Structure 1
């Protein structure tokens, strides 16, 4: 009972949190003003390229936000995800969570090219990912925050880490929570950051089992609203159509808002990993309900949680390097 009350008291305090942040990162090495003297136009350049990319393809906002997540959950926020196969490096792009799924690399390339022209050998690819994630969120109508900066880039990748550390849509609630805790992120961060599914798409192959064989007994997932499931089956058959895309948020698919949490309450979300936020844990359920009823509360905590995620094991000081090309280490 004491833990329960503490959790609820924490939530009440969260609702009064400011939207923007300027403090140094929890490790003391990252801070928003890192490039103020060495490359004062850095964030302006990132924003310009991201804005143009999202204007051409609205979906790119979600793709760039996802790159930041999938990078930070493997060895920390070090741009290891961006490395292509070369020498001894086996690219994380080939892992199960990323193959034929993560995208937006050409936008990161364009940002890097522009930054190298403005201030060579200065802005890291890992910082580009963090800034682009923020700018994508804002462009989609989501919260703004000051991005702590000063990360450096990894000189290796980990395909095993990518396969094992990134939460999967078929994972149990406890498995997903464990993967967040391994990154020093808690249940509040887990539910809040899952709210990034308010934008973007999922492929038929990623939720097909919910429509036809959720528990291995040939029956659909009973937690999926029936009329919504019937609608999904029209374009996601038992076989074929694996790559057919569906919006993660059927209400406002390109707008960053709290509709995602309202959809969970209505049992109208694509992924099992989203629905279990309501059905498998009482604290998680409370958060879903609070965010569904309070968009500002969701925005406030999302800014806090993504800053916290961006502080996961960054390379700073003399560790790592600042890559000239985000796809390969420097010679």
Structure 2
């Protein structure tokens, strides 16, 4: 799956903190007496940003994945290093759109304008809530977000490593398994590609360089390949892109899986979910029943939100999401 990160190392302190202790602090009502209006404030800002830009929703959702799959869900993706040695400076995170960062910064500003909430809501929790609201406001499920994360203090370029967009099923499954996520979880979370887009570089080889005797990936629908070649010619511009779900690119639904059945998955790591018989049945289930997809997605993203949760001992609540206190 494109732009998913795997964790290479933990800080010594994080190894000393029991993951069970960290996740036990999470609660849907964590801010009930700290910032009672946190949910409505976050959703209001996300809705405003989505009205301003169609990129805001998928960009916000991608931030959550990119954050959780490196050092855990601790907003390390937001940190800016003065020497450029931060996660967002890595080649893989350079694809993240500024609209996603802007949503988080804007939510933080809105919360800080409320005296009761000021500097009491972590950036990590803001990312989790903004992603949920982007999903819901795009037509997806409304689910409860567990809250109570603290923000991490470390962000390094070298910690960002991820499977390539042409990753096979074994690599995708093993990557997610490192974080306690099953193959079904991985396939459900891949459904986040029902909104958003990818640059031509991410799937160029499927169009032109698949093999010496077969330039175009044979798992790709020929008509779909021709459409993509028009959007992404051999000498494409850096700004050229295609939608991950060409049918309903702004709606969070199960059409992504139906597209895989039609061999219209944009990335190789998308299409392999259907072409590999070990995962095809799950794709078929989600394609035929949107409620099944929504239920599996909520379960998977809730589990993902518990990865690497920081406690007050190892984290903080940043006054500015871009810098440690």
Q: Choose from 145, 165, 171 the match for 2:167.
A: 171
Q: Which residue of 1 aligns with 2:304?
A: 309
Question: SS where residue 202 of structure 1 aligns?
Answer: strand
Output the CA distance in 2 between the equivalents of 1:107 and 1:27: 26
Q: Which residue of 2 aligns with 1:144?
A: 142
Deviation at 1:25?
Answer: 10
Deviation at 1:317?
Answer: 3.3
Deviation at 1:101?
Answer: 3.1
Where structure 1 has 5 or more consecutive residues not aligned to the other structure, the ranges are 1-23
Deviation at 1:281?
Answer: 4.3
Task: Check whether the contact 1:30–1:149 (CA below 8 A) recurs between aligned residues.
Answer: yes
Deviations 1:196-247 (A, max 9, x none): 0000011111111100012465611000000110111112111222321211
Q: Which residue of 1 aligns with 2:106?
A: 110
Deviations 1:32-63 (A, max 9, x none): 10000011111111111100000111221111
Q: Which residue of 2 aligns with 1:83?
A: 79
Output the CA distance in 2 between the equivalents of 1:173 and 1:61: 27
TM-score by length of 2: 0.89
Deviation at 1:26?
Answer: 9.0
Question: SS where residue 93 of structure 2 aligns?
Answer: coil
Deviation at 1:321?
Answer: 0.4
Q: Choose from 173, 179, 182 the match for 2:178.
A: 182
Q: Which residue of 2 aligns with 1:97?
A: 92
* Cα gap change, 1:25 to 1:31, in 2 (>3 Å): farther
Task: Check whether the contact 2:193–2:244 (CA below 8 A) recurs between aligned residues.
Answer: yes
User: 30-39 vs 174-183, which deviates more?
Assistant: 174-183
Output the CA distance in 1 between the equivalents of 2:152 and 2:75: 6
Output the CA distance in 2 between the equivalents of 1:240 and 1:300: 39
Task: Check whether the contact 1:65–1:133 (CA below 8 A) recurs between aligned residues.
Answer: yes
Where structure 2 has 5 or more consecutive residues not aligned to the other structure, the ranges are 1-19
Q: Which residue of 1 aligns with 2:33?
A: 37
Task: Check whether the contact 2:198–2:243 (CA below 8 A) recurs between aligned residues.
Answer: yes
The total of aligned residue pairs comes to: 303
Output the CA distance in 1 between the equivalents of 2:324 and 2:208: 44
Q: Which residue of 1 aligns with 2:5?
A: none
Question: SS where residue 246 of structure 1 aligns?
Answer: strand
1:214 aligns with 2:210: yes
Deviation at 1:184?
Answer: 1.4
Q: Choose from 258, 262, 267 the match for 2:258.
A: 262
Task: Check whether the contact 2:22–2:310 (CA below 8 A) recurs between aligned residues.
Answer: no
